[in-house]
Amino acid sequence: MPSTKPATRVPLPACKHTPTPYDGLSRDEILKLRRKYLNPGILTYYKEPLCIVEGYMQYLWDETGRQYLDAIAGIVTVSVGHCHPKITARVREQVGKLVHTTTIYLHPTIVEYARELARRFPDGSGLEVSYFTSSGSEANELATLMARLHTGRHEIITLRNGYHGGSQSTMALTAVGTWKYPIATPAGVRHAVPGYCYRCPFGLEYPACDMRCARDVEDVIRYETPGQIAGFIAEPIQGLGGAVVPPPEYFKIVFDIVRQYGGLCISDEVQTGFGRTGEHYWGFQNWGVVPDMVTMAKGIGNGAPLGACTTKADIAQPMAQRLHFNTFGGNPVSVLQGLATLEIVDEENIQQRAKDVGGYLKGKLLELQEKHSLIGEVRGLGLMLGVELVKDRQSKEPAIAETADVVEKAKNRSLLLGKGGLHGNVIRVKPPMCITKDDCDFLVDCLDVCMEEVSGAG
């Protein structure tokens, strides 16, 4: 059933793209088939799940032809715009030529792409040897495997409130309980506390805290491991955890500790890479550190099933001691999408857009915070923003039902948002990076209207 369309004060910007009339299965038929034939564990958003049949740049259309602003970019996967015309044209051509070979044969695009990706890392970092996968979970599995092979040790340190995947071993790295099943995940993973000042686990205030959170990594290593570790993996800004931005010195302190105990540092850039944080191409560059390995997925291919783990030659070398391959990793279509995405990020100044438009949006969200006591904190960098909702600013009790309600009401007004954090009380705003300031005006007005309603003021 199509949802009704109550007004916002600022209209959703019109789009030059005309969606193709849809004549496929009805939404109810899809839902019925999905309930019968798809695994029930596969998540849907919204009380009445939305059916999306077409996309163009920052907009999506449902089966009734209704347009939405996609402020969560699929699921932070669409970096430069849904069905970006230049990428689509190149992919169409490739699909007509060759879809699949596996990496047992040579193919030009995979090596051209690996070279281009290597050029995007800081000079002198040595980050230049890539292994392509079809997802972020696989990339993270490879990173921890390589860290273990290279160091000859097993223990991996990661952070609470972090998300690194849904396979059994990446579920062990993930430390948000709602995403963990009651099974025994692979051993050798320890969790330290993140730099989450708004909810400091030690109840301290920055900067008087003396970065107690970063120093927890050393305690975890000394108490819970034999004192030598394989590595440390973390997101430069926690994504699913609710756009949690650590204090600026957090990663510098942590990387020093990790290296002191023999570990490799892995930056999970699945959400933060490719200019999304605005100031820099990679999330880790915001913190003045250089990791030994970088994992990527989501925005890397603007929606293609593509992931990668890039590291230094000597760290990758131990992989050659056994047979290893990934059937779909590095296929000609996905790597072409990756290569074309890199080019568009540069050609269209996407990183600068993330900085400018993201800065504008954050400013507007901060203004909204002055109006709505429901907003506990607005945080994030570039176009990776989070709005944490609380029932009461003093107690910081998570506003769980209210967040769900705002997200639901926004959808009914044509705005698609994400939700995150352990309690699901953080609104995640991570749109395709082609979003405009007009879109941001609509987004903020829509949030304003929805919050007025939810808090009973509207």
Ligand X SMILES: Cc1ncc(COP(=O)(O)O)c(C=O)c1O
Closest CA to 69 of 353, 352, 415: 415
Regarding 329 and contact with ligand X (CB under 6 A), the answer is: no
Minimum CB–partner distance for residue 170 and ligand X (Å):
7
The DSSP bridge partners found for residue 418 are 428
Report the length, in residues, of the chain: 458
Cβ-based nearer residue to ligand X, 164 or 419: 164
x/- string (CB under 6 A) for ligand X, residues 284-323? -------------x--------------------------
Residues 194-253 touching ligand X, rule: CB under 6 A, are 235, 239-240
| Contact partners, residue 47, CB within 8 Å, separation at least 6 | 408
Residues 25-54 touching ligand X, rule: CB under 6 A, are none
Q: Point out which span in 11-19, 32-40, 162-170, 355-363 binds ligand X (CB under 6 A).
A: 162-170
Regarding 136 and contact with ligand X (CB under 6 A), the answer is: yes
Closest CA to 341 of 28, 66, 79, 72: 79
Minimum CB–partner distance for residue 134 and ligand X (Å):
8
Torsion angle in degrees (nearest 10) through CA of 85, 89, 91, 95: 140
Contact 289, 255 (CB under 8 A): yes
Residues 71-110 touching ligand X, rule: CB under 6 A, are none
Regarding 176 and contact with ligand X (CB under 6 A), the answer is: no
The DSSP bridge partners found for residue 169 are none
Rounded Cα distance between 173 and 159, Å, is: 8
| Residue of 19, 55, 81, 165 that binds ligand X (CB under 6 A) | 165
Cβ-based nearer residue to ligand X, 54 or 141: 141
What is the chain's percent helix, strand, coil content, to nearest 5? 40, 15, 45
Tell me, what amino acid is at 382? G
Q: No. of H helices and E strands in the chain?
A: 13, 15
Minimum CB–partner distance for residue 458 and ligand X (Å):
33
Minimum CB–partner distance for residue 443 and ligand X (Å):
21
- Measured in whole angstroms, the distance separating CA 427 from the mean position of its chain's CA atoms is 14
x/- string (CB under 6 A) for ligand X, residues 246-285? ----------------------x-xx--------------
Residue at shortest CB range from ligand X: 136
Residues 140-159 touching ligand X, rule: CB under 6 A, are 140
Q: Point out which span in 97-105, 119-127, 129-137, 358-366 binds ligand X (CB under 6 A).
A: 129-137
Number of residues that bind ligand X (CB under 6 A): 14
Cβ-based nearer residue to ligand X, 129 or 270: 270
Output phi, psi for 249, to 5 deg: -90, 0
Cβ-based nearer residue to ligand X, 164 or 355: 164
Contact 434, 59 (CB under 8 A): no
Cβ-based nearer residue to ligand X, 164 or 409: 164
- Please report which residue ranges of 120-245 form alpha helices under DSSP H: 136-151, 168-173, 212-224
Cβ-based nearer residue to ligand X, 8 or 140: 140
Contact 170, 139 (CB under 8 A): no
Tell me, what amino acid is at 428? R
Minimum CB–partner distance for residue 316 and ligand X (Å):
20
End-to-end CA distance of the chain: 26
Cβ-based nearer residue to ligand X, 94 or 133: 133
| Residue of 113, 163, 255, 274 that binds ligand X (CB under 6 A) | 163
Contact 41, 51 (CB under 8 A): no
Minimum CB–partner distance for residue 190 and ligand X (Å):
18
Q: In what order do the strands lie in the sheet with 307-311?
A: 129-133, 307-311, 293-296, 264-268, 231-234, 156-159, 189-192
| Residue of 164, 355, 364, 428 that binds ligand X (CB under 6 A) | 164
Minimum CB–partner distance for residue 77 and ligand X (Å):
8
Tell me, what amino acid is at 446? C
Residues that bind ligand X (CB under 6 A): 135-137, 140, 163-165, 235, 239-240, 268, 270-271, 297
